[in-house]
Structure 1
């Protein structure tokens, strides 16, 4: 059955921007490499996966206040003067053009004040009654993977033409943690790219061993507090929760109290109820034709229209 496809739009336009030369320009010389790239990505996704619904999820707030209040270093290294996100000068003007294209095509574009695109995807995934594909280059969204529904990530790290379908078995094979425990694993390990410190002295292997032994961060912290071995573990996790690791986790207890609220994507963001059905033809053909002419996008828009 055709399902819902969620596009991590910022991830896609950054990938397109850095993957396609800026020599790809509009008639007036404005670079449109990111716009062209995303249009062709969407056309390819539609042809290959035939989703019944699609949403282009946006960052209405790339650094939400609730995450910064919890961990002030969250994405702090990307902030420029005025509190805006550091964005290449030739990419920033392309984002509004892409938004106009999405609107003219009729692909739902969804952002919520105070939340990131990740939170929109988490909420729409939680609401979905059928299968969901999340298209992203962000490993943080592996936490949404759920074979029982099913929800999978189409991971763009190798390029959109070489998408890797991430299910729970893939997460376990790659990181050594149960498929839906990725957020707990990431909390322990940290993520310098997002300004999340993690627990000092706890890397990938240790984080994976701890989460695998205890099943969840909550159970691990109960064991740190001396509330007993992990349920079902014949060795009681003693070989994993050594005295040294217990000390490291205890020292990072305040971080571990607040970090899950930062690392875990929201499942209950106030996303408005909108029609996510993928159209079979452009919503506004005249506006789309004008955009194609103005920005030199006729060929990629023809490919997208054909895919619809």
Structure 2
């Protein structure tokens, strides 16, 4: 079955910017490019490990937001981005297009919506898809044909490939329950408060007991109290909790119907000379690490040993809370 690799461009570029894995690399004209190099490195590393047949990279619309129009406080708590980050965010879609990578910037929507729409398009075409992101919202998209490659603090070595059978072991909920789980606990990074007294453990206990939020609302209050405790049950059964959960689910839901280029236009391999020229024009030289994107032969063991970015990507078997962004880093994601 063919495989589509879909990247959350904003999420991964922010991650590369913060990690500064390649140092604060500058282009010949002095413009910052270290996050751009990191983003392309993520793409090349994932392609080398997964051998996709096609690649799509999505970015947030930089000029308007349907979610902010719906809820003006959406992401309103985030501090202003640095000039060097803004500059690289602006250049990233253009650079990838110059490299020949299929790139989508949807009007008023976000990279998350590109991931959801691409996963749906892949499923409809009989393909599998892997969604590469540092954002947990993509967990709700996991199914029999869709997996999530989550990149966390620590870079390549902390990537986790999560399929339909893995999420329950990691979070105690199924992919179909994940949106209720997230809506209950909220998302501070998007300025979406959850129901009071509902963190991850309490949300998991409620869903383990009732399956869905709706079923819990319809259940005997005594059973809710038995599942989550008296304090959490009091807040959950308060009428205001419905508004909180419904708002969060609405804003966390990814659109799966965005118009996308045909999968045929996203096919690999890319043209090596075109890609290398586009990167070199901005002072980025990844050399042999591009092999998987351009249809080249796998590097020799000796070259891999000399070039850290070519070494095999070992996926971790679990998620550790200490690897998630700290509150001071939330403006990056």
- Report TM bin, short chain: 0.7 to 0.9
| Aligned equivalents of 2:36, 2:253: Cα separation in 1 | 30
Aligned to 2:10: 10
CA 1:293/1:4 → structure 2, altered by over 3 Å: closer, same or farther? closer
Q: How many residues align?
A: 287
Which structure 2 segments of 5+ residues have no match? 295-333
Deviation per residue, 1:179-201 (Å, 9 max, x gap) = 33111101001111110100011
Deviation per residue, 1:93-119 (Å, 9 max, x gap) = 223433233112221101211111101
Q: Relative to structure 2, which stretch is displaced further, 244-253 or 11-20?
A: 244-253
1:177 deviates by 1.4
Local SS of the residue matching 1:15:
helix
Query: TM-score normalized by structure 1?
Result: 0.83
Aligned to 1:180: 176
| Aligned equivalents of 1:61, 1:97: Cα separation in 2 | 11
Displaced runs of 4 or more, over 6 A:
none
Aligned to 1:264: 253
Whether 2:304 is the aligned partner of 1:304: answer no
Aligned to 2:74: 74
| Aligned equivalents of 2:246, 2:27: Cα separation in 1 | 50
Local SS of the residue matching 1:29:
coil
1:223 deviates by 2.5
> Following superposition of structure 1 onto structure 2, how do residues 178-257 of structure 1 map, counting pairs within 5 Å?
178-223=174-219, 239-240=226-227, 244-251=231-238, 252-257=241-246
Aligned to 1:110: 104
* One of 100, 104, 127 as aligned partner of 2:121: 127
CA 1:61/1:272 → structure 2, altered by over 3 Å: closer, same or farther? farther
Q: Contact (CA 8 Å) 2:268, 2:293: kept in 1 or not?
A: no
| Aligned equivalents of 2:228, 2:159: Cα separation in 1 | 37
Q: Contact (CA 8 Å) 2:6, 2:55: kept in 1 or not?
A: yes
CA 1:292/1:127 → structure 2, altered by over 3 Å: closer, same or farther? closer
Deviation per residue, 1:186-222 (Å, 9 max, x gap) = 1001111110100011111110011121112222223
1:246 deviates by 3.5
Aligned to 2:141: 144
| Aligned equivalents of 1:71, 1:78: Cα separation in 2 | 15
| Aligned equivalents of 1:96, 1:30: Cα separation in 2 | 12
1:289 deviates by 5.4
| Aligned equivalents of 1:257, 1:109: Cα separation in 2 | 32
Local SS of the residue matching 2:84:
coil
Deviation per residue, 1:128-187 (Å, 9 max, x gap) = 2221100011111111111x2x21111111422442111233321222112331111010
Aligned to 1:32: 33
Aligned-pair Cα RMSD in Å: 2.6
Q: Contact (CA 8 Å) 1:75, 1:193: kept in 2 or not?
A: yes
| Aligned equivalents of 2:288, 2:34: Cα separation in 1 | 16
Q: Relative to structure 2, which stretch is displaced further, 154-163 or 196-205?
A: 154-163
Q: Contact (CA 8 Å) 1:39, 1:301: kept in 2 or not?
A: no
Q: Relative to structure 2, which stretch is displaced further, 195-204 or 13-22?
A: 13-22
1:243 deviates by 5.1
Aligned to 1:49: 50
| Aligned equivalents of 1:56, 1:151: Cα separation in 2 | 16
CA 1:37/1:163 → structure 2, altered by over 3 Å: closer, same or farther? same
Local SS of the residue matching 2:86:
coil
Q: Relative to structure 2, which stretch is displaced further, 109-118 or 214-223?
A: 214-223
Query: TM-score normalized by structure 2?
Result: 0.77
Local SS of the residue matching 1:205:
helix
Aligned to 2:306: none
Q: Contact (CA 8 Å) 2:141, 2:175: kept in 1 or not?
A: no
Q: Relative to structure 2, which stretch is displaced further, 160-169 or 260-269?
A: 160-169
